[in-house]
Chains A and B, each alone.
Chain A
Amino acid sequence: MEQVSQLSEFGKIFIFLILGILLVTATVFLSVILAPKKPTYLKLTSYECGEEPTGNSWIQFNSRFYVVALIFLLFDVEMVFIFPWATVFGQKSLLAAAPMWGWLTLIEMFVFVGILILGLVYVWRRGDLDWIKPAQQIPHVDIAIPKSAYDRINKEVYVVRSFNAGTEPEPISSDVPKPGPSLSKPAFKPTFRKPNNG
């Protein structure tokens, strides 16, 4: 009779699963009851920092992530193989039965992992682990001025005039530009979007 009433351990996990989903859904439902519900057109648009959302975001995405996923798959499958081995290679009972068991399986696993690490080294050497960066372009301008002219300016030593509190400061050149004729008004005119369903 005792066995009938026993839940298996995964049965207990199942209780956890059901209860977790129930409780979270109940809380969300409570919020649905409590919270106001006044959807408007603008509220339901996708958030793009206040700009009008353009286009769909379900697009093709950067394949760098794809390479990472491939390498992950390789190693994850490997890990699934290692887990069961890791629990038996050093068992005392098995070692007592066959003394070479431990070292034999250890070397076998090293060979297996070694092949996969070789794969990692290959991907590493090929540069697939490196993040694809845009090539940096150094700005270049076609001018006749030689580079030495710039170097001379850069090397020029500027002398700081000694500070003297007593004397009047020398007037800096007086050709301050006078304010010209009235400037044009700012070209930016804010517009406001009216909600369609006002």
Chain B
Amino acid sequence: MLKFATRFSELNFYITYVLVALLLFSFTAVFALFAVYAERKVSAFIQDRLGPMETGKFGSLQTIADILKMLQKELITPAAADKVLFVAAPVIIFVSVYMGFASLPWGPGLIPASLNLGVLYVFAIVSVEAVGILMAGWGSNNKYSLLGALRSIAQVISYEIPAGIAIISAVMIAQTLDLQEIAIQQGVLSTEGSKFLGFWDVSETGGIFAWNIFRAPHLIVAYVVYFIASLAECNRAPFDIPEAESELVSGFHTEYTGIRFAFVFLAEYSMMFLVGMFGVILFLGGWNTPLPNIGNIKLAEWTTGAAWGVFWIAAKVLLVVFVQMWIRWTLPRFRVDHLMDLCWKVLTPLAFLCMAISGVWRLLIM
């Protein structure tokens, strides 16, 4: 009987994790659908149009209709393509983005898989997507796809350097690679104690003052570097030369049709959320509330908890995603040599500078 009970609890454990994984998968997919709709509406309002209006109230069912249409479209595999790479690429691209969500904390105690190497894991997962893009571009055996994929890889790996160094400067302040611990340090639940700009002890006050960018103000620069680099890693405008539609048709996914195209497309939007959330956890306080305790009004303690955590992190990340969309519809595309100049001659030295300041700050002030 006891053995049976153990077996049952073991099974329970697996079922829980499969459910968590399912929940996260549906979140990834549903968010991507929502983001596509949001992007179309945001772009429409920026350009003084209405955007989708026909399907559902204010066109809200547009992307659902789109995905149902995509499901019914013929899957064309070009005769000249490398079949294995071509078919596997969308799966790898989407799954790698989805896997990134596996170790991101949503609230105190709410983390799908609490890795003590979380930062390194997410950083690695983001690069796996580049492999998928290269497979898609090479496997298509199409000149536009290959050019798009090569540009994409050159861009992603170049911008990984400033992004990585900026992340390291945050890790040096936090002294851990565990994302949950990094999030805890930036609020009232911290046991370590934190100082606003290095002089005012805010371990009891919490709120916005305990976020990493205010605990060490040079991390504001590091966050800007990370944000620009993350735009490049998502291949988002103004860094969208890999899919520059005026010269390369649509870059590495030119040959994709139907649901395979949909996965590549949705992965881009999930990726926006992933890099946004990663940045929010490292620099903008993660799931911590922006409201500080003021004397007896314990705003920070009242607004900290599992449900509040999900609310705050979702709100912050959606704001970041909105800024990403805003930038896309405001700035023109970079030229390829400007792109490389910005990465290697501006962002990389700036990131190294942040790293040096982080080291001194940690030892002298914290």
Contacts and interface: CB of A to CB of B under 8 A. Distances in A.
B345 interface: yes
B171 A47 contact: no
B62 interface: no
Interface stretch (A54-62, A139-147, A162-170, A177-185): A54-62
Contacts of A53: 80, 142
A72 B115 contact: no
A57 B143 contact: yes
A40 to B, nearest CB: 10
A44 B141 CA distance: 12
A86 B74 contact: no
A115 interface: no
Nearest to A102: B363
Given A35-B71, A90-B363, A110 B165 contact: no
A58 B138 contact: yes
Given A15-B17, A69-B157, A131 B99 contact: no
Given A10-B113, A13-B115, A36-B72, 13 more contacts: A13-B121, A15-B21, A20-B25, A28-B259, A31-B71, A31-B75, A68-B158, A79-B161, A102-B363, A106-B359, A106-B363, A110-B359, A130-B337
Interface in A144-172: none
Contacts of B81: 46
Interface in B105-164: 112-116, 119-121, 138, 140-146, 150, 153-154, 157-158, 160-161, 164
A61 B164 contact: no
B157 A68 contact: yes
A192 to B, nearest CB: 21
Dominant secondary structure of chain B at its interface with chain A: helix
B218 interface: no
Contacts of B157: 68-69, 72, 76
Contact of B113 (A1, A12, A89, A129): A12
13 contacts: A5-B6, A20-B25, A20-B99, A30-B71, A30-B259, A39-B76, A46-B140, A58-B138, A64-B154, A86-B171, A89-B359, A110-B356, A130-B341
Q: Which of A46, A61, A120 is the most central at the interface, judged by chain B CB atoms within 10 Å of its CB?
A: A46
Interface string A1-43: 1001111011011011101110111011011101111110001
Nearest to B170: A86
B362 A16 contact: no
Interface in B164-201: 164-165, 168, 171-172, 175-177
Given A79-B165, A82-B168, A102-B363, A20 B146 contact: no
A122 interface: no
Interface stretch (B30-38, B45-53, B90-98, B297-305): B90-98
Contacts of A72: 157-158, 160-161
B229 to A, nearest CB: 13
A48 interface: yes
Contacts of A110: 356, 359
B27 interface: no
A17 B161 CA distance: 27
Which range holds the interface residue count of chain B? 35 or more
Contacts of A38: 74
Nearest to A32: B75
A11 B17 CA distance: 10
Contacts of A87: 171, 175-177
Interface in B249-286: 249, 254-255, 258-260, 263
A191 interface: no
B158 to A, nearest CB: 6
B220 interface: no
Given A17-B99, A89-B172, A35 B258 contact: yes
Nearest to A83: B120
Interface in A74-127: 75-76, 79, 82-83, 86-91, 102-103, 106, 109-110, 113, 117, 120, 124
Given A5-B13, A19-B25, A44-B76, A25 B177 contact: no
A49 interface: yes
Contacts of A86: 168, 171-172, 175
